[in-house]
Amino acid sequence: MKKKALPILLALGLSLLSACRNNEKAAPSPEQRAAQLVAQLTLGQKAGLMMHPSAPVEELGIPAYNWWNEALHGVARNGVATVFPMPVAMAASFDVPLVGQVFDAVSDEGRVKNRQARESGHVGWYQGVTFWTPNINIFRDPRWGRGMETYGEDPYLTGQMGMAVVRGLQGPQDAEILKAHACAKHFAVHSGPEWNRHTFDAQVSERDLRETYLPAFKDLVTKAGVKEVMIAYNRFRGEPCGMNDYLINTVLRGEWGFEGIVVSDCWAIKDIWNTHKVLPDAAHAAAAAVHTGTELNCGETYAHIPEAVAAGLLDEADVDKALIRLLAERIRLGELDGNGGDWDALPDEIVEGPEHLALSRKMAEESLVLLHNNGILPLSDGTRVALIGPNADDREMQWGNYNPIPEKTVTLADALRERIPDLTLIRGCGLVDSLENDLLWRLRGNDIVVFAGGISPRIEGEEMPVDLPGFRGGDRTDIEFPAVQRSLIRRLQAAGKRVILVNFSGSAMGLETETLTCEAILQAWYPGEEGGHAIADVLFGDVNPSGKLPVTFYRHTADIPDYEDYAMEGRTYRYFRGSPLFPFGFGLSYSRFTYGEARVESGRLIVPVTNESAVDGTEVVQLYVRDPEDTDGPLKTLRGFCRVTVPAGETVEAAIPLTDETFLAWSEAEGDMVPKHGRWELLYGGSSDALRVLAYEYQ
């Protein structure tokens, strides 16, 4: 061991000695215990403990552990577990408490699976309790294939949803044994393209950085106490994120006081020298990343740590500091001792059990967004419909990506057969090809057609080997509804059929033509294993739709800027100056809501909402703010929302808190977002494009 490594270990040792003298019964803190272990390790052993498959050190009682686990919308890649809707779908619910319940259930299932693994004698890949979720990158461009993993295009909504995920996954922070780790990813300024993410250099202004790309990360770190932050593959202002001193030390550790673990995206440290080519080899990359503060390497580049120390590229004290943090967290999780605490009492039966299936179904119901309805919906009980389309009976499509494998998935075909035993089911075409020419005669007697179309996680997603019309590498090259499906819908309409489009996708699509050829459009996302039931319930009126769009649906690809341009101008509802097809926050209901005059009372915006229909319904009341003096800033920006259930014919008052953070504005002098006193406009309503305005003086 180098002499330079001694000061940190000596200090922690003295702290431990002092604690023992003051209280003979005091147990060492996790950091003190970790320091004791680190002091006994060789440099090679230290390196082995800083990679995602952490090697055991049997003589010190340190078991093997694999840090890599996924729980994007269910415990993933580890057999049977409940599949909830994709995150972009959950965002459409605008239901923060429900998202928290979902991820509490997810980590319950994760703890059961971890206990089962420990009982088998080995905790391997996807069996730990360190979950690399949520993805809180801003979905700035609908062409990004991974956008379905996020909570949409708005920083405030993303932060609210992300904090619910963290709190649900991690559980009580005062628990003797922590339930799990959540991980905020990908830090920072990362949202495609997939095809060049290992070489791309994201350049953004400080204003866009602080106003759009960082707020959700700040929320999760400073308010929700997220335990891990994952750095992105790309460079940021010329420096790879895994060794980016500004992001990691100035912002994350310095300004926000983050004390958790910084983990690399998988093989991102290798990218530093292999694809970004900013350093000559693996030893230099490992040294730079560890020195900057990336403690955990998903990958194997940290195997070169001993080489880096021997070459004088890295101080062993930096290695010790990183490893003490890693081992201390393993102790807090009970993992180092093979002890799950009270979490070990969770029964096996909860995994994809009735309560979690009901929760998945409720989440799917609230995520569905009714975009268009000429009065055909809801369907009356007993209505005969035919079901057509490539996504009508596709179980895997409903699972999304980073998913579990459920025991049973209810497709739309399954759910409609429960209502219509002799349901006519015709595929009709593929996602992008294979149009059937002889289907119209099979539709005799069916004037209403439910068309289950859209796209699929088989062709949009993370860095995929896909090269199809409109798709590249997991991303989309245009946002149009697939031409073969568009053609089939036109044929159905020309034949006199009334078409209800159920659109499955993880991203916004250009559906302008479909508003003319379809009598209704329901955005279904990738709705999880209970998605079929949820969709059928909305189509037949058993559930009144309440979902709202967490992303803007543009009319055409030409409406959005160059994909590789990270400047926010022209992007999302906050900066888009055109006319969207369906705006952010939009979603129809079977109820008819009207808004009264809002007032400010006791630090809250009070908004009267009246249901002028004969159907009970739930409305998402949204608060946006605008600084009338800021000509360069967003046109409006979401700063609050509230789900309210309004009985038929009644009025309910929604209350949205007004705090300092409601009035955050960019300050050139501060170089950050700060509360701004003075004139503001409070804009409130049921979508970002249907708002009433209240002038307000913030004191």
Task: Give catalytic residues, as residue numbers.
Answer: 265, 460
User: What pLDDT is attached to residue 234?
Assistant: 97
Mean pLDDT on 398-425: 97
Please tell me what DSSP assigns to residue 135. B
User: What pLDDT is attached to residue 6?
Assistant: 44
Rounded to 5°, the CA angle 482-190-81 comes to 70
Instruction: For residue 554, give the nearest of 276, 37, 142 by alpha carbon.
Output: 142
Mean pLDDT on 520-544: 98
Beta bridge pairs of residue 264 = 231
* Predicted confidence (pLDDT) per residue in 338-373, tens digit: 999 999 999 999 999 999 999 999 999 999 999 999
135 contacts 401 by C-beta, under 8 angstroms? no
247: its two tokens = 């992001």
Amino acid at 399: W
User: What pLDDT is attached to residue 14?
Assistant: 44
Residue with tokens 């990506």: 401
Query: How far, in Å, CA of 289 to CA of 437, rounded?
Result: 58
Amino acid at 543: V
Dihedral, 357, 358, 362, 368 alpha carbons, nearest 10: 40
3 contacts 10 by C-beta, under 8 angstroms? no
Query: How far, in Å, CA of 571 to CA of 505, rounded?
Result: 20
605: its two tokens = 């915006």
The three state secondary structure string of 660-699 is HHHHEEEECCCCEEEECCEEEEEEEEEECCEEEEEEEEEC
Residue 552, pLDDT above cutoff 90: yes
* Predicted confidence (pLDDT) per residue in 277-324, tens digit: 999 999 999 999 999 999 999 999 999 999 999 999 999 999 999 999
Query: How far, in Å, CA of 597 to CA of 607, rounded?
Result: 7
Residue 444, pLDDT above cutoff 50: yes
Mean pLDDT on 480-493: 97
Helix (H, G, I), strand (E, B) or coil at 410: coil
213: its two tokens = 């790309």
Helix (H, G, I), strand (E, B) or coil at 575: helix
User: What pLDDT is attached to residue 25?
Assistant: 64
482: its two tokens = 């697939």
Q: pTM for this one? A: 0.95
| Model confidence band, residue 121 (pLDDT cutoffs 50, 70, 90) | confident
Query: How far, in Å, CA of 651 to CA of 536, rounded?
Result: 29
Q: What mean pLDDT is reported for the chain?
A: 95
Go through the domains of the chain in sequence order and give each one's CATH number: 3-349 (3.20.20.300), 361-575 (3.40.50.1700), 593-698 (2.60.40.10)
Cis upstream peptide for 186 (omega within 30°): yes
Give percent helix, percent strand, percent coil of the chain, each to the nearest 5: 35, 20, 45
User: What pLDDT is attached to residue 445?
Assistant: 87
Which helix (H) or strand (E) segment is 604 a member of?
strand 604-611
Cis upstream peptide for 240 (omega within 30°): no
